[in-house]
Amino acid sequence: MFMSKKIIIGNWKMNPSSLMQAEDLFKSIQKNIFSKIKTDIIICPPNIYLPSFAKTLAGKEKLKKIFLGAQNVSYEEKGAYTGEISVEMLKDIGVKYVIIGHSERRSPPTGGGENNSDINKKIKMVLSFNLIPILCIGEKERDKSHEYLNFIKKQIEECLKNVAKSFISKIIIAYEPIWAIGKASVREASPEEFREMSIFIRKILSDKFGAKSIKKIKIIYGGSVNSRNVSDFLKEGGADGFLVGRNSLDPKKFGEIIEVCEA
């Protein structure tokens, strides 16, 4: 589905290494945002930088298309959970979006080995506080027997288990094939591959929640996103937007991606 309004998410991961660098990067990205921009820009920095960014955005009309997102959240509301951050804490400082189920969070040991059940609980917790979950899904490899389709189906069904039909349109689905991301990527995915997967995802969601309920849901692409391939993913792949990793740390390259979406 080719929709006029796109969404671009910058996932900074564990970068940069100081608040000063983070603020400089955030200011540089702001320079590429103009008042009549249609695209929604979501910046997901490390949690420690979120309060500073929230102050920067407060009351600035020009920056109303920039939103803050978190890279992770606990599925517990409060309590003795060392090192965790709750959705209520995130909401209190102005966060609107939360990335959930990123492949780096699913992978042990550094990511903690989150499973679909953990992700399901996080999604329901985020929705209960009226924040928007960005659900990441994606297969490790494209096998010739097409078993990866069953893998994606299982991810969706288990991650969205018992999510109310009335909430489903608020969820953003980020399809990010693991074989196409990071330094170890095998190759880039093609727009045609994304379009096929997007149709498949919508079919699963339609069967589960009904065609009417998923009409407004956004399916975005992540995986070696750059200014050279976004146009094809928009026009040929029908992407509703992008989850950008490495290039979100480069204001010039990130700005070019925004420009293509606007055009």
Pick the closest to residue 97 from 44, 31, 167 (CA basis): 44
Type of residue numbered 126: V
Note the Cα 261 to chain centre separation in Å. 16
Active site (annotated) includes residue 104: no
Interior CA angle at 1 toward 5 and 62, to 5°? 5
Q: Which residues pair with 173 in a beta bridge?
A: 135, 219
Is 146 catalytic? The answer is no
Let me know: does 156 contact 175? Beta carbons within 8 Å. no
Cα separation of 247 and 25, whole Å?
12
Q: Which residues contact 248 (CB under 8 A, 6 or more apart)?
A: 9, 10, 11, 12, 43, 254
Q: Which of 88, 146, 176, 262 is catalytic?
A: 176
CA 220 to CA 234: how far, in whole Å? Answer: 10
- Which one is catalytic: 102, 104, 114, 139? 102
* Cross-strand bridge partners of residue 40: 7
Catalytically active residues are: 102, 176
